[in-house]
Chain A
């Protein structure tokens, strides 16, 4: 039986003192009051942590989501579609009148159809974005020429379909995602409140910070569903709501920290690194449990030559322990050590957006029932230890009958992230 964290020092006493010191520092970190909890109140950014769309079967697996405005005030948002390795492939503005709701089927996007909305300036007769009598509808003149969006040219549609299936994008002449050998488009989506229409994405100059397009309006909520009509599955959960406070995070961890060089200028609350997820691989849930995992590579990822993968790939885990219902643990030998040993599994939650079945090679468990402790921290490239943020969801399935999905349990906050528990 291995250990969860093998550190390059020798004595048990030294290991203990260092682990406790790290733990003490982590627990003593100042809290950012009121904005660190990962709750379901409306946020300034929504995260759809993972999507999949079966491009070979028109009635196959797809992902639905909704974006809702909790306020009477009209709001402009920027929707960004990312590959599973974190390369942005497409962005479009979405305008919401007060109390508006906009639903999406990502299959439509991969067929070239973009959600049609328009502010009062582009839609004076209210035929595209109608409003109720309690809802504000205003003009964003910066959206002239952007809204309503037209359907995608064939070349852009082909770019999307290629980039999200790990093929060479005709736009980039390069790849942006994992090639899993199927024709399922994978990735994740972010939605930010913004002050004007623009073609920028997080990480571009002028997106965050003073004068940037991103705003801190904590008014967005929504949900998402994975629907697989062929297998009669559907499960859903709330989109992750990231609260913003432009003054709260100066120099601290934030959700978009890698795109603002750790300055905190995005003002978005970070996610935690450590999670607990229950699993069932027998009984009523005959098809077992999948984990949906979004995680931060800590890197700004650009398109890369096909046949290669980004330098940070695969993302590792700093702790993985599976317990059965009698608390018997199962541990993997893990990293980091120098030199690195052969990995016990070829990859563990290797991408930024992942869906993996519990009990398969990347997530081995010798038990039918129990729970998994995951710490998504991984060694950064210029840091001794990077407490990387993430989100974990659980989907339990009964073959051809039903499935159940819900968020896993965060064991800390992104503001006060725990180090890996010292199982050894």
Chain B
């Protein structure tokens, strides 16, 4: 190893060791230890139809291992696989490929000594993760039976592998769900909902804040595309104590040992359903149910679903408002509802002005609190909201809504 490379590696380690974005309760776009693709859709009936693309990037010179987990829209994990990234690597995904049984091909130095699967550049580290022998590179295709179960699970049908249903059946053949990507220290078949061995001392998850990426919804038939940054969830080792909200809090019994910062609970999102944006506005929502969701009997919903909202006010551009509200009240004393089920699942898309998300105004904004009151280890339910505005047959634009708080310090207020 020459002096120049040694210097470079020391500098890289210094960069990585620094908590470059030091607010544990701020939802910023700095590189993180977990990425969240909050919602995906893939039209399984039309090969040229709607799909979701995303990329996972490594901001550091150090090679890293990640664990990609695919979840249904109700929060049941259906598939996980490791993805290895050399330093400064980028791996792009089209989720249509996954639902066609095609998995990404990466491999660490131990499984890819000739650098044909995961090549690296002159500034990039490439190391061997011996734990990945036998796991990487992934098989070229998913077994047909498993693939059929995967497609069924994400369209609300009965999955043979899971032994029941795992997602909403919305009467179409769109695969829906969300994706998490965690930095890990070994190839694993575990997922964050494992009772032990994923987080905490000896766990596979690491706190390397080096991941960044973006996602794009592409609908070629309707000439739409819109995108946004993947949600970056930074890890702050030791910063969260038992009882604190964390991103994976429900899976660690509120202990905080996942070290991941939580999202927000209250959001502001502008909308337009007339004028230039004649195609209206969709809200993309990922929200936590606060529960560990297991496969369930088809024709039913898992306990706790549909999810309700904590409160909502809709303003027009002259501040006239209409409200659906369960607050103000304490987190443990609010009535259960019945607010509208605009966002009944953990991941979903709702069209503003539809029966699911009605508004009396053509232009305005939503003030929405998604932290429905629950009890238990995770009293404050976090969420992420995105906005997509569309002009019919012409163009669309997507961006994140505005977080008005953090689950670190949630506000129980809706005007």
Contacts and interface: CB of A to CB of B under 8 A. Distances in A.
B220 to A, nearest CB: 8
A97 interface: yes
B402 A276 contact: no
Contacts of B224: 402
Interface string B377-415: 000000000010101001111111111100000000001
Contact of A101 (B17, B18, B223, B315): B315
B123 A423 contact: yes
Interface string A269-307: 000000010100000100000000000000000000000
Contact of A100 (B232, B319, B399): B319
B190 interface: no
B411 to A, nearest CB: 11
A134 B319 contact: yes
A8 to B, nearest CB: 18
A234 B29 contact: no
Interface in B284-340: 313, 315-321
A225 interface: yes
B389 A70 contact: no
A259 interface: no
Nearest to A330: B121
Contacts of B4: 12, 16, 424
Interface residues of B, number: 81
Interface string B210-237: 0010101010100111111100100000
Contact of B319 (A70, A98, A402, A412): A98
Contacts, number: 249
Interface in A65-92: 66, 68, 70, 72
Interface stretch (A31-39, A175-183, A342-350, A380-388): A31-39
A338 interface: no
Interface stretch (B82-90, B133-141, B173-181): B82-90
A405 B8 CA distance: 33
Contacts of A144: none
A15 B4 CA distance: 10
A19 B18 CA distance: 15
A134 B415 contact: yes
Contacts of A241: 402
Given A40-B403, A413-B21, A99 B7 contact: no
A233 to B, nearest CB: 6
A424 B7 CA distance: 10
B223 A402 contact: yes
A235 B86 CA distance: 32
B319 A99 contact: yes
A227 B396 CA distance: 10
B18 A402 contact: no
Contacts of B193: none
A130 B395 contact: no
Contacts of B121: 323-324, 326-329
Given A233-B395, A416-B22, A39 B123 contact: no
Contact of B92 (A37, A40, A325): A325
Interface in A383-424: 394, 396, 398, 401-407, 409-413, 415-416, 418, 421-424
B101 interface: no
A402 B225 contact: yes
Given A39-B27, A327-B86, A132 B15 contact: no
Contact of A418 (B15, B88, B214): B15
Contacts of B415: 72, 99, 134
- Which among A40, A132, A276 has the greatest number of chain B C-beta atoms within 10 A? A40
Interface in A309-347: 323-329
Contact of A41 (B55, B367, B402): B402
A20 interface: yes
A285 to B, nearest CB: 8
A20 B11 contact: yes
A39 B26 contact: yes
B365 A68 contact: yes
Contact of B399 (A16, A236, A415, A422): A236
B205 interface: no
Nearest to B92: A325
Given A13-B3, A234-B395, A423-B123, A101 B20 contact: no
Nearest to A133: B321
Contacts of A132: 315-316, 318-321
B120 interface: yes
A37 B25 CA distance: 9
- Which among A36, A37, A324 has the greatest number of chain B C-beta atoms within 10 A? A37
A49 interface: no
Interface string B186-226: 00000000000000000000000000101010101001111
Interface in A356-401: 369-371, 394, 396, 398, 401
Contact of A409 (B10, B25, B30, B402): B30
B123 A37 contact: no
A326 B14 CA distance: 24
B74 interface: no
Nearest to A398: B225
A403 to B, nearest CB: 7
A198 interface: no
A278 B395 contact: no
A200 interface: no
Contacts of A116: none
B5 to A, nearest CB: 10
Contact of A23 (B15, B88, B89, B316): B15
B402 A329 contact: no
A27 B319 contact: no
Contact of B223 (A26, A131, A232, A396): A232
Contact of A37 (B3, B21, B223, B402): B21
A406 B315 contact: no
A131 B212 CA distance: 41
Interface of A: 12-13, 15-16, 19-20, 23-24, 26-27, 31, 33-42, 64, 66, 68, 70, 72, 97-103, 130-135, 221, 223, 225, 227, 229, 232-238, 241, 276, 278, 284, 323-329, 369-371, 394, 396, 398, 401-407, 409-413, 415-416, 418, 421-424
19 contacts: A40-B27, A41-B27, A99-B315, A100-B319, A101-B365, A134-B319, A232-B223, A236-B397, A236-B398, A284-B220, A323-B121, A370-B90, A396-B216, A401-B220, A401-B223, A401-B225, A404-B226, A406-B228, A407-B229
Give 10 closest A-B pairs by Cβ, nearest first.
A132-B319, A327-B121, A37-B26, A27-B18, A236-B397, A16-B7, A402-B225, A234-B395, A404-B227, A37-B28
Given A238-B399, A406-B398, 7 more contacts: A39-B403, A99-B367, A134-B319, A276-B212, A327-B86, A406-B228, A411-B59
